[in-house]
Amino acid sequence: MIKSTNGESPSLGYEFAEVSTKDGKSKPPVIYSDGLFGGRDVIRIVLLVTTVTLSCLLFYKSANNPLNMVLSPWKADCYASKLMNETSLEVEQKKEPVSELERVLMNAAMEDNTVIITALNQAWAEPNSTFDVFRESFKAGIETERLLKHVIAVCLDIKAYDQCLKVHPHCYLINATDSDQLSGPNRFMTPGYLKLIWRRMDLLRQVIGLGYNFIFTDADILWLRDPFPRFFPDADFQITCDDYNGKPSDKKNHVNSGFTYVKANNKTSKFYKYWIRSSRKFPGKHDQDVFNFIKNDHHIEKLGIKMRFFDTVYFGGFCQPSRDINVVNTMHANCCIGLDNKVNNLKAALEDWKRYVSLNTTVSETKWNIPPRCGY
């Protein structure tokens, strides 16, 4: 028999029933209260200790599979802070290092891994120049402002990049040793213009290789309506036209590569590689010309790539302005020579659009305030 003696026994105030020596049978153990805690208090303590121990074990076992663990609001739990730290570390370790291009793509991408890409040099990025009008059109368009956060401005020189960062969240600088040759207005078909075009094409090839669908849009294009409902759902490669002959699958359409929608897959990846490689066979030609040279190649046919060509009613330009302002999605300053002419006529077209939107109704006749031949 163990009895408490003046509080000095290790039983801490508990007395256990004695074992009978007469019949050799033990009496059931009974807990008597003699000291600090009562019998009910002891039961509560035992239950509490058991509950906390089980909780700790559950959290400890869940640590190896944090995704299946439902975090409890018990902030004081013995393993809570340790587990949170271990989980965060695990996630960080699983992330693989990414390039600057991948970082920008991830930040700008839509849920289906689609981005909108435009290209800028210093002259186009200057305040009140092309990029400002481009961004203003998204804000004035119908269902287009939400798309602006998915636009990546690819900058071909450091001054364009610095200016882009002041006004836009997603800017990417191509590391170019010859950026000084790319920073000016670069009139159509000059050596600087051609360098800009093929630098841009190589960047788009990289984007496909990283698994991103993209819309490429020249910065001298007004975005007036969300274009996605007008895209052909089953096409791999879709492109606008300077002149459209009414047949969306006809490769005889006179294309304009200033606006393309491309899905990232094996076919488009091989197509862009072949397109860029073919530029060596046709020196002094831009991407549109080279496209026209190769679009019927046997190699392209073997790829099985499905191409579609956009109607200028929906994707218009200064070569062939949209005939219906009630449905137009984009307007391109093609067939317009000189940066100043482009900017001035884009601003005039945007004002026409704003007046149309303010009417809040359909109109029977479309009149774009674009001078003939756009100031050739």
pLDDT, one tens digit per residue, over 310-367 is 999 999 999 988 889 999 999 999 988 889 999 999 999 999 999 999 999 999 888 7
Which stretches of 210-338 are DSSP H helices?
266-278, 287-294, 298-303
Residue matched to tokens 């940066």: 339
Cβ distance 144 to 180 under 8 Å?
Answer: no
The DSSP symbol for 240 reads E
Most distant CA pair in the chain: distance in Å?
124
Closest CA to 259 of 164, 123, 117: 117
What was the pLDDT predicted at 98?
Answer: 80
- The token pair at 163 is 């200016």
pLDDT tens column, 145-154: 999 999 999 9
Measured torsion, CA atoms of residues 92, 95, 99, 103, in degrees rounded to the nearest 10: -80
What was the pLDDT predicted at 290?
Answer: 93
Closest CA to 249 of 259, 258, 236: 236
What was the pLDDT predicted at 125?
Answer: 96
What was the pLDDT predicted at 13?
Answer: 41
Cβ distance 150 to 116 under 8 Å?
Answer: yes
pLDDT tens column, 9-66: 444 443 434 444 444 444 444 444 444 445 566 566 667 767 767 766 655 555 444 4
Measured in Å, how far apart are the chain's first and last C-alpha atoms? 114
pLDDT bucket at 371, cuts 50 / 70 / 90:
low
Concatenate the DSSP letters of all residues of 244-273 into one string: --S-TT-TTSEEEEEEEEE--SHHHHHHHH
Residue matched to tokens 């003046």: 6
Q: Which residues contact 310 (CB under 8 A, 6 or more apart)?
A: 230, 238, 239, 240, 241, 244, 248, 259
Q: Choose the weakest-confidence range: 78-92, 104-118, 166-180, 212-226.
A: 78-92
What was the pLDDT predicted at 72?
Answer: 38
Cβ distance 216 to 259 under 8 Å?
Answer: yes
Q: Choose the weakest-confidence range: 65-74, 240-249, 288-297, 338-347.
A: 65-74
Q: What is the pTM of this model?
A: 0.72
Q: Which residues contact 114 (CB under 8 A, 6 or more apart)?
A: 150, 212, 213, 214, 215
Q: Is 314 in a helix, a strand, or coil? A: coil
What whole-number distance in Å separates Cα of residue 150 and Cα of residue 163? 18
**Residue 279: burial class (beta carbons within 10 Å; 0-12, 13-18, 19+):** buried
**Residue 48: burial class (beta carbons within 10 Å; 0-12, 13-18, 19+):** exposed
Please state the φ and ψ torsions of residue 218, each to the nearest 5 degrees: -60, 150
What whole-number distance in Å separates Cα of residue 253 and Cα of residue 255? 6
Which percentage of the chain shows pLDDT scores above 70? 68
